Structure 1
Amino acid sequence: MARVPPATHFSGILLIHCRGRSPDSGPRDCRDPKADRPPRERADHFRRFWVLDSSETQSLQSLWSLLLREPAPAGTVGAEGTRTFQKDVRVTGPGVHRAPAAPARPATPHAVARWCAEQGWPVHPLAAGRKTPAANCPACKDQHHRPASCPCLPAGRPCHGFHSATTDLERIDAWWSANPAWGVGVACGGADLIVIDVDAHPTPVPDRNRLLPGIPIHDSVDLQGLASGFDTLALLAALRRRPNPVEDGNTLRVRTPSGGLHIWYRNPHPVTRFRCSTGSSTKVALAWQVDVRADGGYIVAPTTRTAQGTYVAEGPSRLPAPLPEWLGEELVRTGHMIQRTPVRRPSAGPRSRRQDPAVGWQRVLDPLLTDVVECAATPEGAAFTAKLNKAAYTAGGLAAAGHLDEPTARALLLEAAQAARPWQSARNERIIDDALAAGSARPLHLEGRS
């Protein structure tokens, strides 16, 4: 059980850090009382189990067996016929019957690797008992070269860490059959995953202006008790008036051996790519002691065992939820989005004074669309909404005057908006539709325009 820091006040907001959870009463404002019991007494408390034997529950049994919180000790069936897989999740149903007690065995790394691959997450081996990738072959150790040019990867050898990640089950079977003690890493980019890595390392707290990059914290804000990434992420969420991701029970969360937390999210807009960062970086960081795992990085799979301990899934969710929109905006604000060079339409060359009316609308609309696309280089303060609204309003007027059809106009607007703000597609569509409708009330005729 991780240490529970005291309640922390941030400018009138009381933040209580809760790490313990009761199976019947939900989050508590203090540590779980069972944490203070001797290990044997705590084991006795969870000495219950299930047997799921129907074909309908087979897949559920397989899923849960991969992601058990901890192996259940041998015991007897409770009066209600319930086995507790983890402290806050219980399952009941007709597929349960009483049976002799048997100790639960944790899933093997091989089984975990296959399960991850079945979710579409490319996996690669980690060194046995460690959280770092398995060592390269001797040739790759001696010769420094780019992973893309390495002959080991096409040959199916797991060199160069996450660059070798795959969902090929035959290759996975070969790797972990030969090295069953290897751990499991998941390549975040290939899996379209964004993992918020919250650290709790005992390091000195930096100056308050480095806690939340780009957000000045006034001297009047009391930061007494702030000690880890749990605190800075809670502060960021409170300032944005959003739920704290640490407490997001709708997504997969994994407790690390050091007391940190991996919060797994799925990228809802894969066309937008995000880079990795560390919370101590002075260039790109989400918050102090809060790392980001995305393109160009990997994350340790749940149930992986290291010399320091096991990566343990927390809460009821076992799959990543879509990245919350506000967190996506924060990643963009803090420089995590990988910029793409806007693709400009090739110039049609010099135009005569008397332009072909069939393409006259392009002369009016194209500069406005370019203004929208160029907002991609400026995450904030680019007047994106105003520029998109102007472009859509103009397109509505052009469509009403018969210069182009509305579906074409809408498609061009959506393409430009997606290039600049892909993480807010629903909002983009609302802006476009409203402005198109307003513009259509005032047809824009091009006669007499030069």
Structure 2
Amino acid sequence: MLRYVPSFSRFSRSSWENALLTCIFSPAIEATHHPAVLKATISSTTPPPDPRTIAHWCAQAGWPVHPLAAGRKTPAGNCQTCATSGHRHTDCPCIRNGRWCHGFHAATTNPTLIDTWWSKHPALGVGVSCGPAGLIIIDIDAHHAPVPTRDRLWPGIAVNDAVDLTGLQNGFHTLAVLAALHGAPDPAHDENTLRVRTPSGGLHLWYQAGIGRQWLCSSGSSAGRALAWQVDVRSTGGYIVAPGITTTAGTYTPLGECRTPAPLPQWLVDELTRTGHLDEPASDPVPAPRKPPSRARQAVIDAGGGRDSAARTLETVLADVASCSTAPTGTGFSDKLNRAAYTAGGLVAAGLIDQHAAQEALLATAAYARPGQHQRALSIIRSGMTAGARQPLFPGGRP
């Protein structure tokens, strides 16, 4: 199920203009990101190591690997039985018996198994299963495609018609602009993390997912969950082509000297959380609602002036957030906090509660449910309240 993605329109026109000037009209960036230049760079590199060596290198880094079809970026095919039976990977004897059926579900770091697979089939490529590897890959595309409507460029971020988007062409631009809006450098130029140039002129940015975090995959062309147009996300439930692998389209070429994924930058953590990429499935059974902590209840009273309908509405959604304290994961915390913040934003816009007091109530409840995650909670609260403010909420109907 796709998560709710709030609108996010706090960037001023001048912020947009500065970001666009920095990221789109810079000759250096346009030259660096031009597909023809990228392909020329790739073709001039030395021959990459063989797939088995690459597979061992990945496994030694703690990244489970699985075979890709020779010359392609898709998983090697299942055995005939698996291809025709339609069973799930959890019921498959092949994986238990050391065969590679079911794609990234068969990924391993076992050196003996790696030797067996690639010594018998040396032409197979190498895929890395991102989730078990603790990785998140930001996959920047440079496809020649019509620019979509503004609401599809940066999902949840309102782009005023007065903002001139002339020159925006691909994922390099959308990601660079998103970074600039946060005051962060263009991650495509981040020499402190593993970067891999793709045969089509795109770029894979490899990052550590973070302890206890599971990120969901997405496509930058999706109408649902997405980070930015032509920017895909590969993590839990997905795989990525290993650095150095060659397909019929070309080689996935590491850039620079760094071969280690860096921690995910905080601004990307915030954006990925905002856009529903943080995986925290609801538990079964759902924990019973708990009362918000006393500090939050007092803030609710301060926000709404007592036990009126607005305060009761806010306290109800805060109770859902507080119920997440029953378990460290699997309670739908992000969704519940997002929903509570959206509700609070609507109540603030209706003039029924005070914005500062409402935010304090949300922060206090979030700290009660997830201690030590202030920055994450604050990011969700701010974006949720901003979105909710666009839809004034009158619990008892408009006065």
Both proteins in one fold, TM over 0.5: yes
User: Aligned ranges for residues 217-232 of structure 1 at < 5 Å?
Assistant: 217-232=159-174
Cα distance in 2 for residues equivalent to 1:326 and 1:302: 25
Larger radius of gyration: 1
Residue 90 of structure 2 aligns with which residue?
Answer: 148
More helix by share: 2
Question: What SS does structure 2 have at the residue aligned with 1:128?
Answer: coil
Q: Which of 253, 274, 277 is the aligned partner of 1:312?
A: 253
Can you list the C-alpha shifts for 1:278-308, whole angstroms capped at 9, x where unaligned? Answer: 0111111000100000111000000000001
Question: What SS does structure 1 have at the residue aligned with 2:371?
Answer: helix
Can you list the C-alpha shifts for 1:296-354, whole angstroms capped at 9, x where unaligned? Answer: 10000000000010000012211100111111111111111222336877899xxxxxx
Cα distance in 1 for residues equivalent to 2:131 and 2:249: 26
User: Does structure 1 residue 11 correspond to structure 2 residue 17?
Assistant: yes
Whether the aligned pair in 2 keeps the contact of 1:186 and 1:298 (CA below 8 Å) is yes
Question: What SS does structure 2 have at the residue aligned with 1:251?
Answer: coil
Cα distance in 2 for residues equivalent to 1:327 and 1:346: 32
Residue 178 of structure 2 aligns with which residue?
Answer: 236
User: Does structure 1 residue 278 correspond to structure 2 residue 214?
Assistant: no
Whether the aligned pair in 2 keeps the contact of 1:250 and 1:321 (CA below 8 Å) is yes
User: Does structure 1 residue 291 correspond to structure 2 residue 266?
Assistant: no
Q: Which of 97, 105, 108 is the aligned partner of 1:163?
A: 105
Give the superposition deviation at 1:387: 3.6
Whether the aligned pair in 1 keeps the contact of 2:140 and 2:171 (CA below 8 Å) is yes
Amino acid at match of 1:306: T
Residue 211 of structure 1 aligns with which residue?
Answer: 153
Cα distance in 2 for residues equivalent to 1:168 and 1:423: 38
Can you list the C-alpha shifts for 1:86-131, whole angstroms capped at 9, x where unaligned? Answer: xxxxxxxxxxxxxxxxxxx531110110010011100000111111
Identity of aligned residues (%): 47
Whether the aligned pair in 2 keeps the contact of 1:122 and 1:165 (CA below 8 Å) is yes
User: Does structure 1 residue 338 correspond to structure 2 residue 345?
Assistant: no
Amino acid at match of 1:338: D
Residue 386 of structure 1 aligns with which residue?
Answer: 360
Q: Which of 328, 334, 349 is the aligned partner of 1:376?
A: 334
Q: Which of 120, 124, 137 is the aligned partner of 1:182?
A: 124
Residue 370 of structure 2 aligns with which residue?
Answer: 416
Give the superposition deviation at 1:243: 1.7
Give the superposition deviation at 1:259: 0.1
Identify the structure with bigger relative contact order (alpha carbons < 8 Å, sequence gap 6+).
2
Whether the aligned pair in 2 keeps the contact of 1:269 and 1:422 (CA below 8 Å) is no
Question: What SS does structure 2 have at the residue aligned with 1:111?
Answer: helix
Query: Which consecutive unaligned segments of at least 5 residues does structure 1 have?
Result: 1-8, 21-26, 44-67, 72-104, 349-360, 393-412, 428-450
Whether the aligned pair in 2 keeps the contact of 1:157 and 1:164 (CA below 8 Å) is yes
How many residues align structurally?
315
Residue 258 of structure 1 aligns with which residue?
Answer: 200
Give the superposition deviation at 1:426: 12
Question: What SS does structure 1 have at the residue aligned with 2:119?
Answer: helix
Amino acid at match of 2:211: H
Residue 45 of structure 2 aligns with which residue?
Answer: 70
Cα distance in 1 for residues equivalent to 2:29 and 2:138: 23
Amino acid at match of 1:160: H
Give the superposition deviation at 1:239: 1.6
Q: CA RMSD in A?
A: 3.8
